[in-house]
Structure formats: C-alpha cells, structure tokens
Amino acid sequence: MKDKIYIKVCFLIFFVCGMYFSKDFGISWDEPFHRKGGKQNLALIAKTLKIDKVLDIPQNIINPADSSKDIFGYGAAFDTICFLIEKLFRIDDLKNIWLMRHKMNFLIYLIGAYLFFLFSKSIFKNQHFGFIASMFYLLHPRLLSHGFFNGKDSIAQALVACSLFPLFLAYKNNNYKYIIISGAVIGLAITTRIPIIYLPLLFITLLFFKKLILENGQKINSKKIIFIFILSNIFSSYLFWPIIWESPIDNFILIFNKMKNHYWVGSNLYMGEYIKASEIPWHYTPIWILITTPISYLLFFIMGIIKTIFYQSRDNKQQIFFDIFMFFGFVGPLVSIAYLGSTLYDGWRQTFFIYPFLCYYMALGFSWVYSILLKKFPLRLNLIIILLSVFTFIEPSMKILYLHPHQNIYFNSLAGKDPMRNFEGDYWGNSMRQGIEWILNNDKKDGKHEITIASPYNGAKKNYGILTKENRQRVMWIFLKSNNLDNYEAVPLAQNYNLNTLSGKQIKYPFDYFITNFRGDKENYLKSISSNIYLDFNEVYNIKLNQMKILSVYKKTID
C-alpha cells in the first residue's frame, strides 16, 4: 500500500510542477499553425452538425477539398479540443490561450507517462520497475520540454504510450474490451501522425503468429479479434479526423501521400554540413537519438537488447513474441524512413512516437542489471534500486533543472562541447520569448514608444501571443527573409507601420533590435562566438547554455 501511495504522490508532484512551470515556455514556430488548424476543424465539425451558431464559430472556414490539407492533416483532436476550450471558457487574451494550450499539452503527455507505468508494471509484474520505466519516459530532457509545446509529435508519443497498456492486455488475454480500446487509441494516434499506421499492422502480425504458434489447442477466434481491432481502429481514425468525413478513402490517401514525404525546400545542419531535408542519409534519425538521449539511458537500452537476444527464457514464447513486437515498434519506422527517403526536419521529433518502445528496452536492461547486482552484492533490495536509480537519473534530472525552460536543446557529451557547431540548436525559436522580454524590460525608451524587432523567418513574431497585453502593444515586428541583414527584404507585420520608410530604404536597417537563434546560419553563429558585433548592431543579450549560444539579441548602434 505504501508503495502505491509513493508512486501516486510522485505523479501528483509531476502534475503540479508541470502545471506551474508550463508558463515559462515560449511558442514554437508550429503552434500558431496548429491553433489555426483547431479553429478550422471545429468550424468544419460545427458546420457539419449545424451547431455553428450555437458555438459562435466563424463561417470563413477553409474548404478541405480546395486546401493543401496541411491545416487539417496534423493532430486534429488535440487542436480542436484546445480551440473548443477557448470558445467554451471564453478565453480571449492570447497569453492565456497559449498558457492553456501548454497545460493541456503537458497533461496529455503526463497521462501517457502514467499509462506507460501501468503497462510496464504489468510487463515486469513489479510496480518498482514499472515506475522506473515511466521515469525513463518522463525524465528525457528534450522530450519533456516538447511535452509542453509540441502539439503534434509529443501528443503522438503520448497516444502510442497510452495504447501499449490495453494492447498488451488484449494480446495476453484476448479480451474484446481491450481489443476495442487499443484499436481506438491507435486510431487516434494515426490522426496525429499518419506513419503510426504501421502499428496496427504490426499488432495484427503479432496476433497472427500467436494464433499460429502459441494457441496450443485453445479455441481462439483470431479472425474475429483481428476484425474487431481493425474496425475499432478505422472507426476511431474516421471519428477524430473531420477532414476525411466527406470522402474518407480519397482524402486519407491524399493526406497519406503528402505526409509520408512532406515537401520542404530547407536544409538541416547535420554533422557540421547543411543537407537538404529531402536527401538525408539513412543514419540521420539514429544519430540524433544517440546524441540527444542521456548516456545512462542508452547503456540500459543496449543491455535490454542484449538480454532479449541472448538471455531470454526460451520457454516463455508469449513474452518472446511480444519482445519482437516491441523491437519492431522502434526499428520499423527507422527502416521505413531510410527506405522511402522521407523528408525530415531538425532532429528526430517526427519519430518521437517510437520512444515508448525504446523505454521498454531501457527498463528491461535496468531490471537485468539489477538482478545481476543483487546476486553479486549482499545489499538490501531497495538500496540497490536507489543506487542504480541515482546513477541513471542524476544527470538528466540535473540538466532538466539547469536548462529550464530550454530543455529542448539538450545534447549529451557524444555531441561534443558545442553541439551547435554541428547540429541545430533551438530550431523552433522558443528562446526568442526570453530575448523579447529582455528587450522590453531593458529598453530605455518611453513605454509608449514602439520598439521594432526583426528576426529571420518571422521567429520572434511567433512569440507575440505569450507576451502580456501591455507589451504586445509596444512591439512592431519585421520579417527578414534571410539571415543576411545586408540583403534584407523586410515585410512589416504591424498595420500602422510606414511602408514608405521600408520601400524607399530611407533608414538603413529600419529596426531597433535583431534577434536570432542561428537556425540555418552556422557561419554567423561561429562569428558570434568570437565577436559581439553584427554589422551595425552590438550584442546586448544572449542565452548561453554550456558551450552553446542558443540566442542572441543585437541592438542597432547607427541610424
């Protein structure tokens, strides 16, 4: 009983801390896009159900048949629920809207962690090891940070984690209730990240081999079980994906073909070189996982794989088949990406959904090392677990505290002293919030005077909504279409900005401050390390973590 209480207390502490610290994160570049998608999906649902007037939903929705499907193609359920909360609770101020979304994002992430605990407890038949497994899941610095602001990849990761518990019970007990639940949750996950469609196919294969090899005379109607699972999966995907309601098959194929190799003309900084996103090498995702996952986690993962291959009990065939299922749960997507030559963005965020499978093997390795130590050292059982846990989680836990709220730039020592020489840092621009707030707190102009801030690719403007209402009125934004200020093409984002000033170029660099996170700009990043001057600008503020300078704020010195 005491053990159950301490686990519940720990999750309660995580919940309270998450709700409190969610206010500290900036807005990633994709978040405004997702909010707009939620608005469009809710409008489509309301129009279909003829309740748009009741919900006071705007009429100017995008026609799915005419759109590129981008706005509807990701995370429809999460984005729609968040926008519905906006409407129902009349959350009008932008800052409160983003704070609410970050809280919701973390809540779902934490639910995923708790259900992963229940799954692991069932696997290991031990709640201590189940809790350790959930800590592998929760205390990954980079993924934890994404759990607050990534409304697509982290939600997909959480949904996959949620699906494993009913999926395991369905596999073990052939229970129709769990078959339906697992199919429904995986269907919801597919609407968030389409590549997760591999998971029901993998589970059906698992059920097939169980029927073929492990039945041992039992009368198991595998065809009925598979049929119910597929039906639950399809119905869930259809229900939670408004874009496919009108023409399910055609729209699904259209979105699948688009998302499996999404077109993007950008390049990724990888191992010191810029590589087109459409031409990444096969080892791109494995290397990113290797350099951004705590080394202790990687060691236990390797031990878990070794234990499964060489030391698994050959008598427990049911467990062997499930281990194989979990193995292909993370290998399958990696092989598919390499084979299809998929377009990938910075890091491995598009494959976060494989992390629960990695955690499974980390926990398996942890339990194996524990059993070895227990035989060799005459220590108390709980003492061994505590010492092993300290070794495992001390570094990632300290980094979570040290990097906050920039855990999303976590690298381990394998990435070198300054990983940003070879890999992108804060590629989503969350840190720009801190840069903007520093300007607003330190600029000596009259509070009524508008401060003009420029940033590449509109990065700073994305954090507009997280500012207080008073500060939002003090700022004007300039969109730089390149990192080179000498060749700028600025587009004003404030209606009352003087367009003639820009078009006539009466002022050199018509902005007070320039903020950059150095994305796609390795050359100027390296220059910034040795000099605080950027053309006619002086660096007045930066965010430096370890050896990485993830953000710089420059102030104009010459008018």
Per-residue pLDDT tens over the stretch 430-484? 999 999 999 999 987 765 568 989 888 777 888 999 999 889 888 888 877 666 5
Identify whether residues 206 and 114 lie together within a single domain.
yes
In a domain, residue 483? The reply is: yes
Identify whether residues 395 and 436 lie together within a single domain.
no
State the pLDDT at residue 52. Answer: 63
In a domain, residue 327? The reply is: yes
State the pLDDT at residue 243. Answer: 81
Per the CB < 8 A criterion, the answer to whether 369 and 303 are in contact is yes
Per the CB < 8 A criterion, the answer to whether 423 and 274 are in contact is no
Identify whether residues 23 and 87 lie together within a single domain.
yes
The 10 Å Cβ neighbour count of residue 470 is 9
| DSSP β-ladder status, 533-534 and 537-545 | antiparallel
In a domain, residue 9? The reply is: yes
Identify whether residues 93 and 227 lie together within a single domain.
yes
The 10 Å Cβ neighbour count of residue 523 is 11
State the pLDDT at residue 241. Answer: 87
Name 269's bridge partners: 274
Distance CA 134, CA 11 (A): 10
Identify whether residues 265 and 333 lie together within a single domain.
yes
Neighbouring residues of 433: CB distance < 8 A, sequence distance ≥ 6: 25, 26, 27, 463, 466, 467
In a domain, residue 416? The reply is: no
Distance CA 22, CA 144 (A): 11
In a domain, residue 424? The reply is: no
How far from 116 is each of 236, 403, 504, 548, CA to CA, in Å?
A: 21, 26, 59, 33
Identify whether residues 389 and 438 lie together within a single domain.
no
Identify whether residues 492 and 395 lie together within a single domain.
no
Identify whether residues 88 and 191 lie together within a single domain.
yes
How far from 232 is each of 76, 105, 176, 242, CA to CA, in Å?
A: 18, 25, 11, 17
Identify whether residues 318 and 461 lie together within a single domain.
no
Identify whether residues 177 and 243 lie together within a single domain.
yes
In a domain, residue 426? The reply is: no
Per the CB < 8 A criterion, the answer to whether 551 and 543 are in contact is yes
- Please name which of 223, 261, 436 lies closest in space to residue 337, comparing C-alpha atoms: 261
Distance CA 466, CA 22 (A): 12
Name 553's bridge partners: 515, 541
Identify whether residues 304 and 190 lie together within a single domain.
yes
Neighbouring residues of 408: CB distance < 8 A, sequence distance ≥ 6: 142, 145, 146, 426, 428, 430
The 10 Å Cβ neighbour count of residue 1 is 4
In a domain, residue 420? The reply is: no
- Please name which of 178, 140, 255, 208 lies closest in space to residue 186, comparing C-alpha atoms: 178
Q: What is the DSSP string of 297-344?
A: HHHHHHHHHHHHHHS--TT-HHHHHHHHHHHHHHHHHHHHHHHHT---
Q: Domain total for the chain? A: 2
Q: Which residues of the chain have pLDDT under 50?
A: 65-66, 68-69, 217, 490-506
Sheet holding 490-492, edge to edge: 490-492, 475-480, 451-456, 513-516, 548-556, 537-545, 533-534
Per the CB < 8 A criterion, the answer to whether 354 and 296 are in contact is no
Query: 371 lies in which domain range?
Result: 2-399
Rounded to two decimals, what is the model's pTM? 0.92
DSSP-derived letter for residue 379 is -
Distance CA 94, CA 469 (A): 8
Neighbouring residues of 458: CB distance < 8 A, sequence distance ≥ 6: 29, 477, 479, 493
Identify whether residues 355 and 482 lie together within a single domain.
no
State the pLDDT at residue 501. Answer: 43
How far from 210 is each of 214, 215, 328, CA to CA, in Å?
A: 5, 6, 16
The shares of helix, strand and coil residues in the chain, as percent rounded to the nearest 5, are 60, 10, 30
Neighbouring residues of 173: CB distance < 8 A, sequence distance ≥ 6: none
Distance CA 253, CA 337 (A): 18
In a domain, residue 231? The reply is: yes
